[in-house]
């Protein structure tokens, strides 16, 4: 079976992650969440839509805008990509010395403090 996630760029994977984590988004909301201009997000979504990973539908109440949603195919590809990255990282971390793993553990605690500040 072919892994479609390896053919996706970081912008595409990131946009799909926003949809997975936050649900359907207006194109402008998605562009703001990804800190890109709307025309750039349109190109990203066009590429994902061509591959069947996202779908657009009119927003109820304002048919000039569209909601972008992650399809089942998009969800599968994104989750497969995450699993593959998690497995890669787990192998690398397992190869570290115990002291190195402890340093990583401490770094995670510090980064969580920074993230929640």
What does the pLDDT average to over 76-87? 93
| CATH match for 4-116 among 3.50.50.60, 1.10.260.40, 3.40.50.620, 1.10.10.10 | 1.10.10.10
Provide long-range contacts, Cβ within 8 A and 24+ apart, for 20-28. Answer: 20/70, 20/75, 20/78, 23/69, 24/67, 24/68, 24/69, 25/67, 25/68, 26/59, 26/65, 26/66, 26/67, 26/68, 27/65, 27/66, 27/68, 28/65
Q: What are phi and psi of 70, to 5 degrees?
A: -80, 130
Residue for token digits 């590809």? Answer: 77
What does the pLDDT average to over 83-96? 94
Q: What is the pTM of this model?
A: 0.78
Map out the domains of the chain as residue ranges.
Answer: 4-116
Q: Which of 2, 10, 22, 8 is nearest to 69 (CA)?
A: 22
Residue 30, pLDDT above cutoff 50: yes
- Joined together, the tokens standing for residue 103 give 């340093």
∠ CA 101-102-107, rounded to 5°: 95
What does the pLDDT average to over 102-117? 92
């Amino acid at each position: 079976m072919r892994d479609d996630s390896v053919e996706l760029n970081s912008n595409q994977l990131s946009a799909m992650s926003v949809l997975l984590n936050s649900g359907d988004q207006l194109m402008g909301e998605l562009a703001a969440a990804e800190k890109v201009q709307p025309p750039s997000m349109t190109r990203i979504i066009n590429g994902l839509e061509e591959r069947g990973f996202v779908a657009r539908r009119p927003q109820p109440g304002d048919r000039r805008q569209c909601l972008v949603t992650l399809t089942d195919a998009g969800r599968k590809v994104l989750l497969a990509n995450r699993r593959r990255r998690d497995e890669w990282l787990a192998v690398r971390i397992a190869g570290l010395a115990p002291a190195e793993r402890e340093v990583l553990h401490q770094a995670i605690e510090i980064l969580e403090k920074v993230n929640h500040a």
